[in-house]
């Protein structure tokens, strides 16, 4: 009998005993193609020898050094690498241990920034419905995922939500993408004015929505419009790239494709590639300067921030994903995945939309393709697809069914960046079979 409180109680999970490239092997000898990188984490597959070597090297030096006493060369190097890769304007890095921690830190940075610059009345956070920013109290309050929030709502701090940019369901008949972007920006501006233009602290969004919608990117112009609204009212823009960042969409940062730079950016998942738990917040000079010239500190901190082995692993992951052909492979394989899914599932009456960027793809499952009616949540379509896929030796990341708005089930695919054409074709084949068996 297990002594672990597993995510779902009463189901028997296979025991993972080995990782081999893009495959995970269980104790029965079955192997699973990691088509989702776990939850968009394993960007280099499993057991990458160079990352293991970097970790071993660091373990032989020093495994832990508390950040109130020391810095380490690996943490400093990682920060330099990230700043070098980030769009101009993001000049400093705060290292944490995961995505939720990164979001919490970013929210506290935003708040402290306004305290430092003499605008303590700014306290409101606006985010989007159908978003996910983590499971800790502040991050959960920020996200708009109704199912995840439901029972905790009474203890969550107050936050505010506007519509996500979700063209498949919300673009109106005859509306251009530009007009849609304008409509959403107007909705955001209305919300700012309703709350008080000088009382809003931050707007938080995932550039490409991961867990809640399944690889839904914005229409062009959307983030430019959002940036304009934030600038007009002096609001900080926090982009959550925990899932879509670190090369997942074909550029190191997803925001690069939107032509904007946020004030604060959260990253995790692909940063450590699953080799170590690590996340980070990138922040602008403006915010750093307010802290440096003000109180002289950021009033935050966890025991494991800047962990040397995590930093060593992430530094190597970053070095590898920025090598010459890596992003090119993400783009090439992403196109192949999209084309394969279009061909295999495009005509299915139960597949409403296939979308995404790079190696971040989503398949939306519907009961009726014409009306876009989702399946009854009671049918737990996402769970059935996951089970059928695992049976066929495929890890994919199906979610949904119980989220507010007219959103149903979707399957998220996020395979490692090192994936090859024949493995992409295997994902398509196994997922199509799994969906056909489940619906
Ligand atoms: N933000 C986004 C966009 C995410 O997708 C996630 C996790 O899925 C998180 C934050 C939370 O990250 P973590 O699970 O590492 O705490």
pLDDT one-digit tens code per residue, 365-391: 999 999 999 998 888 899 999 999 999
Q: What is the pLDDT of residue 239?
A: 98
Q: What is the pLDDT of residue 406?
A: 47
Percent of the chain with pLDDT over 90: 94
**Phi and psi angles of residue 234, each rounded to the nearest 5 degrees, phi first:** 65, 30
39 Cβ inside 6 Å of ligand 1: yes
DSSP 63: S
Q: Which CATH architecture has domain 52-321?
A: 3-Layer(aba) Sandwich (3.40)
Q: According to the CATH classification, is domain 16-47+325-438 in 3.90.1150.10? A: yes
What is the rounded distance in angstroms from the CA atom of residue 374 to the CA atom of residue 423? 30
Q: pLDDT of 16-75, one tens digit each? A: 999 999 999 999 999 999 999 999 999 999 999 999 999 999 999 999 999 999 999 999
Q: Would you kindly state where each structural domain of the chain is located, as residue ranges? A: 16-47+325-438, 52-321
Q: Is the ipTM of this complex over 0.90?
A: yes
Q: How far is the CA of 127 from the centre of ligand 1 (A)?
A: 15
SS3 312: helix
Q: Which residue is closest in CA terms to ligand 1's atom 9?
A: 134
CB 245 within 8 A of CB 254: yes
Give the residue carrying structure tokens 């296979």.
14
278 Cβ inside 6 Å of ligand 1: no
CB 166 within 8 A of CB 213: yes
For residue 170, pLDDT over 90 is answered with yes
103 Cβ inside 6 Å of ligand 1: yes
Q: How far is the CA of 145 from the centre of ligand 1 (A)?
A: 12
For residue 408, pLDDT over 90 is answered with no
53's CB contacts (< 8 A; 6+ apart) are: 316
The model's pTM? 0.98
Q: With bands split at pLDDT 50, 70 and 90, how would you rate the model's confidence at 401?
A: low
Mean pLDDT of 242-261: 98
| Mutational pocket test of ligand 1: of 243, 267, 302, the residue with most ligand atoms within 8 Å of the beta carbon | 243
Q: pLDDT of 173-208, one tens digit each? A: 999 999 999 999 999 999 999 999 999 999 999 999
Do 52-321 and 16-47+325-438 fall under one CATH topology? Answer: no
Q: What is the pLDDT of residue 163?
A: 96
Note the helical H segments in 18-120. Answer: 37-40, 49-61, 73-85, 99-116
CB 224 within 8 A of CB 249: no
The per-residue pLDDT of the chain, averaged, comes to 96
Q: What is the pLDDT of residue 407?
A: 66
Q: What is the pLDDT of residue 11?
A: 86
For residue 302, pLDDT over 60 is answered with yes
For residue 342, pLDDT over 90 is answered with yes
Percent of the chain with pLDDT over 70: 98
| CA torsion, ordered 132, 337, 248, 210, to nearest 10 deg | 0
Cβ-in-10-Å burial (0-12, 13-18, 19+) of 15 comes to: exposed
Q: With bands split at pLDDT 50, 70 and 90, how would you rate the model's confidence at 400?
A: confident
């Amino acid at each position: 009998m297990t002594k672990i409180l597993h995510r779902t109680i009463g189901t028997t999970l296979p025991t993972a005993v080995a990782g081999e490239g893009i495959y995970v092997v269980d104790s029965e000898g079955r192997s699973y193609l990691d088509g989702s990188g776990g939850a968009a984490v394993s960007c280099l597959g499993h057991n990458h020898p160079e990352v293991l070597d970097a970790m071993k090297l660091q373990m032989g030096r020093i495994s832990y050094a508390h950040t109130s006493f020391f810095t380490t060369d690996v943490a400093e190097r990682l920060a330099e690498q990230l700043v070098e890769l980030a769009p101009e304007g993001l000049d400093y890095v705060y290292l944490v241990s995961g995505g939720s921690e990164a979001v919490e830190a970013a929210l506290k940075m935003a708040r402290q920034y306004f305290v430092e610059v003499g605008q303590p009345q700014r306290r409101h956070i606006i985010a989007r419905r159908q978003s996910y920013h983590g499971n800790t109290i502040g991050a959960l309050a920020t996200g708009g995922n109704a199912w995840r929030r439901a029972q905790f709502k009474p203890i969550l701090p107050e936050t505010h939500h506007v519509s996500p940019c979700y063209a498949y369901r919300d673009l109106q008949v005859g509306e251009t993408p530009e007009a849609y972007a304008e409509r959403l920006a107007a909705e955001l501006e209305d919300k700012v004015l309703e709350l008080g233009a000088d009382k809003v602290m931050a707007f938080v969004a995932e550039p490409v929505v991961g867990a809640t919608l399944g690889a839904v990117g914005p229409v062009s112009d959307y983030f430019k419009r959002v940036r304009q609204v934030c600038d007009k009212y002096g609001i900080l823009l926090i982009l959550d790239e925990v899932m879509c960042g670190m090369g997942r969409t074909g550029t190191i940062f997803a925001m690069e494709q939107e032509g904007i730079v946020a004030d604060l950016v959260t990253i995790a998942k692909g940063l450590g590639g699953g080799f170590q738990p690590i996340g980070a917040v990138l922040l602008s000079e403006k915010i750093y300067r307010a802290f440096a010239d003000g109180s002289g500190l950021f009033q935050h901190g966890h025991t494991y921030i800047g962990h040397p082995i995590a930093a060593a692993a992430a530094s190597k992951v970053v070095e590898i994903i920025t090598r010459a052909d890596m992003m090119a492979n993400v783009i090439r394989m992403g196109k192949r995945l999209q084309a394969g899914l279009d061909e295999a599932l495009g005509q299915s009456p139960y597949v409403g939309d296939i979308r995404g960027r790079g190696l971040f793809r989503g398949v939306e499952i519907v009961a009726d393709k014409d009306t876009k009616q989702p399946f009854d949540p009671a049918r737990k379509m996402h769970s059935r697809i996951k089970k059928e896929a695992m049976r066929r030796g495929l890890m994919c990341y199906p979610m949904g069914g119980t989220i507010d708005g007219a959103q149903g089930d979707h399957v998220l695919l996020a395979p490692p960046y090192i994936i090859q054409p024949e493995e992409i074709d295997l994902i398509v084949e196994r997922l199509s079979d799994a969906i056909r068996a489940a619906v």
